[in-house]
Amino acid sequence: MVVKDVLNEAFFREAEAKGERIRLKLKGCLIGERVFWFDETDSTNDLAYNLYKEVGTSGLVVLATRQRKGRGRKGEEWFSPAGGVWLSIALKPIGREKTGLLPLAMGVAVCKVLREKVNVEAEVKWPNDVLINGRKVSGVLVENKFMGEEAECTIIGVGVNLNFERGLLPEFIRGNATTVMDEVGSMVDFVDFTVNLLREIDRFYSLCLSGEISEIMNLYTDFSCLIGKCVEVHGDGVFKGLVQGFNGEGALILIMSGGKVVKIKEGSITKIF
Ligand code: BTN
C-alpha cells in the first residue's frame, strides 16, 4: 500500500476523525499532533512507520481496535483482540545514546498509569514487560529504523491487555499472561486510560530527550520485580547472578558468583530463582 496515494481516502480520514477525541486531550504534548484510530490493521508499528514516511509528523499516534499481525519482541506474535490498547508512536530520531532507555521508560509509563489510575500493583520486569500478580499484562516494542547508516525514526509500540478476558488468549500464553479486566474484575474506561498513558509516555519521552533520567531510573527501580533476585538471563550468552539494578542505557546490572559485575544491554530473563 502506498500511503501517500490513499491519505486522502475515506479510510484515513475516518481513522483521523476517530482519533480526534484523543488528540484534543493531548494539547501541549510532543506526542499526538496527529492521531489515527483504525478498526483493524496488521501491526500498528508498521502502519505508524508508513504514515511517518509520508507525513513526517514526529509524535504521530496510530491506534487499532484489533491487530491482525501484532508483533512482540524477538519476532513473536502478539495477540491483539478488541478491548486491548494497541498503539504505536512514530518519533524523529533522538540519538543512539538516548534510545537505550526508551523501552524501560515506556514500561514505567504503563506501570504508573496502572498503579495511579487503576489502582493495581503493577511491576516492571526487565527490559519492558509489565506484570500484575506475576503475569504479563503489557509489552513494549521499540524499533529504530535506519536509511542506510542514517537514523530515520523510532517507533514505540505499546500493547496493554485491558478490557478482555484472559481466556481469549491462546492457551500456550494464557498461563503467564493476564488482563487488567481479569485482575480488577471490571472494565476500565478505554479513552481515559489511553489518554493517561499517552500523557505519561509523552512526559517520560521528554525526560529521555533532555537527559533528565533520574525520575525514570528511580521509578523503574521501585517498580521492578527483580531487584535483589537471582536470575538467569539469555543475552549475548547465558548469565546467572543477582540483580543489582539498571543503568541509564537500559542495561541490567548483574553480580555474578565470584563478585564479577556484568552489564547486559539486550536479553530476556529466562528464570527467577
Ligand atoms: C513484547 O512484549 O513482546 C512486545 C509487545 C508489543 C506489542 C505492541 S501492540 C502495539 C504495537 N504493534 C505491534 O505490532 N506490536 C506493538
Is 125 close to ligand 1, i.e. is its CB under 6 Å away?
no
User: Among the atoms of ligand 1, which is closest to the Cα of residue 76?
Assistant: 3
Give strand pairing partners of 41. 67
Supply the pLDDT for residue 3: 58
- Given a contact cutoff of 8 angstroms between Cβ atoms, the answer to whether 135 and 177 are in contact is yes
Is 72 close to ligand 1, i.e. is its CB under 6 Å away?
yes
Domains, the chain, ordered by start: 3-223 (3.30.930.10), 230-272 (2.30.30.100)
Cell of 46: 508498521
User: Among the atoms of ligand 1, which is closest to the Cα of residue 42?
Assistant: 14
Q: How far is the CA of 83 from the centre of ligand 1 (A)?
A: 15
Which of 70, 58, 64 lies closest to 155, judged by CA? 58
Is 70 close to ligand 1, i.e. is its CB under 6 Å away?
yes
Tens digit of pLDDT at every position of the chain (273 positions) = 555 556 668 889 999 999 999 999 999 999 999 999 999 999 999 999 999 999 999 999 999 999 999 999 988 999 999 999 999 999 999 887 788 899 999 999 999 999 999 999 999 999 989 999 999 999 999 999 998 888 899 999 999 999 999 999 999 999 999 999 999 999 999 999 999 999 999 999 999 999 999 999 999 999 999 999 999 999 889 999 999 999 999 999 999 988 999 999 999 999 999
Render 59-99 in DSSP notation, one character per residue.
TEEEEEEEESS-B-GGG-B----TTSEEEEEEE----HHHH
DSSP element (H, E) containing 198: helix 190-210
Fill in the amino acid letter for 105.
A
Q: How far is the CA of 241 from the centre of ligand 1 (A)?
A: 28
User: Among the atoms of ligand 1, which is closest to the Cα of residue 129?
Assistant: 2
